[in-house]
Structure 1
Amino acid sequence: MRRFTQGFYGYAVALFVCLAAAGLFLLVTPQSREEHIPRLDYSITVANFGHSVPYGVYAPQKDPAGWVPNSNKIAKGENGAQVLYLGYATAKRQHAMFVQSNEQPAAGFASRMANSDKAVGTQQVGDMTWEQRFRQDKNQRSLVRVLPEVTLVITGTADWPELAELASALRQRPKG
């Protein structure tokens, strides 16, 4: 018995036992081949944001088909302004984020969120005109809309039609 616990044979037996145990563990452990993106409800975050700002908050009336809301938060922007972030995995599994704030100056906020201050065009979504911005090195597209009391930015790696799909879902909720 002593010769199996020493030297090369002992090492080989211990290695074989460890590999067999690991293989057995992998064989009996359930594995999912399906994609799993965590879905996070943002309704409470939007409601809390609405109570903390002096304007009617914009939010999707309904999420676009196949989109998964996967992040949301309220943060402090510059000058103490509140900023609402709603993140999504799109139907094409790209990233899109909707951001809004009354931070001033509005142009600075929009440029920071879009990672660009240069417009490349405009896009009509329903009855609203959005400014398009594109940052090639990050493959980041952004739709920007500066309103009198709030700035809206939709940004991410999603293509223009997907960003427009999120823009078309936005509705302003009454203050309160």
Structure 2
Amino acid sequence: MRRFTQGFYGYAVALFVCLAGAGLFLLVTPQSREEHIPRLEYSITVANFGHTVPYGVWAPQKDPAGWIPNSNRIAKGQNGAQVLYLGYATAKREHAMFAQSDEKPAAGFASRMANIERTVGTQQVGGVTWEQRFREDKKQRSLVRVLPETTLVITGTADWPELAELAALLQQRPKG
């Protein structure tokens, strides 16, 4: 009598046992069909940023409807300037990021955040003019606003109306 582990039939039985085991594992493993984007609170990061800069910090007064804040951090920019980053998954599940810094020159910071120097137009948001930049190969849109004390950049794969929605909710918090 042939050994069961030899030859083609032994290989076929072993393959069947492995596939049956993998199928059983997939059958009993819980699977979620729901989207899960981690929500990260950013109020402490914004407050800490406010303690490190000599001006009133800009931040959303609330999150846009359906948006999920999913990242935030403070980093060192060029020339030792502090940079605040707040990242979001938008209601359309695109990416948007708000960044601000007092880095000089402001044009250099804005170009680095937007990944392009060239402007494509302007956009009015709440009576305020924002500069539009678009990098086609990355599908990256950016709104840039240069103020005397700080530069604000909203950038990402979100469309112009979504970026404007975040820009409309920005409010300067008093220093202190």
TM-score of Structure 1 vs Structure 2, range by shorter chain: over 0.9
CA RMSD of aligned residues (A): 1.3
Paired residue for 1:43? Answer: 43
Paired residue for 2:63? Answer: 63
Cα deviation digits, residues 79-138 of structure 1 (max 9, x gap): 010111111111111111100000000111111111122221111111321111111121
Letter in 2 for 1:126: G
Q: Give aligned pairs, total.
A: 176
SS in 1 for 2:107: helix
Provide the identity percentage. 87
Is 2:105 the partner of 1:105?
A: yes
Alignment of 1:66-77 (within 5 A): 66-77=66-77
Q: 1:9, CA displacement in angstroms?
A: 2.5
Cα deviation digits, residues 47-100 of structure 1 (max 9, x gap): 111111111111111000011111111111000101111111111111111000
Q: 1: distance between equivalents of 2:174 and 2:86? A: 19
Q: 1:7, CA displacement in angstroms?
A: 2.7
Paired residue for 1:20? Answer: 20
Q: Comparing 90-99 with 132-141, which one deviates more in the overlay?
A: 132-141
Q: Comparing 11-20 with 64-73, which one deviates more in the overlay?
A: 11-20
Q: Comparing 3-12 with 57-66, which one deviates more in the overlay?
A: 3-12
Letter in 2 for 1:20: A
Q: Comparing 92-101 with 5-14, which one deviates more in the overlay?
A: 5-14
Letter in 1 for 2:142: S
Q: Comparing 26-35 with 6-15, which one deviates more in the overlay?
A: 6-15
Alignment of 1:106-121 (within 5 A): 106-121=106-121
Q: Is there any run of 5+ residues in structure 1 with no aligned partner, and where? A: none
Paired residue for 1:147? Answer: 147
How high is the TM-score relative to the length of structure 1?
0.95
Q: 1: distance between equivalents of 2:150 and 2:142? A: 16
How high is the TM-score relative to the length of structure 2?
0.95
Q: Is there any run of 5+ residues in structure 2 with no aligned partner, and where? A: none
Give the ranges of 4+ consecutive aligned residues of structure 1 lying more than 6 Å apart after TM superposition. none
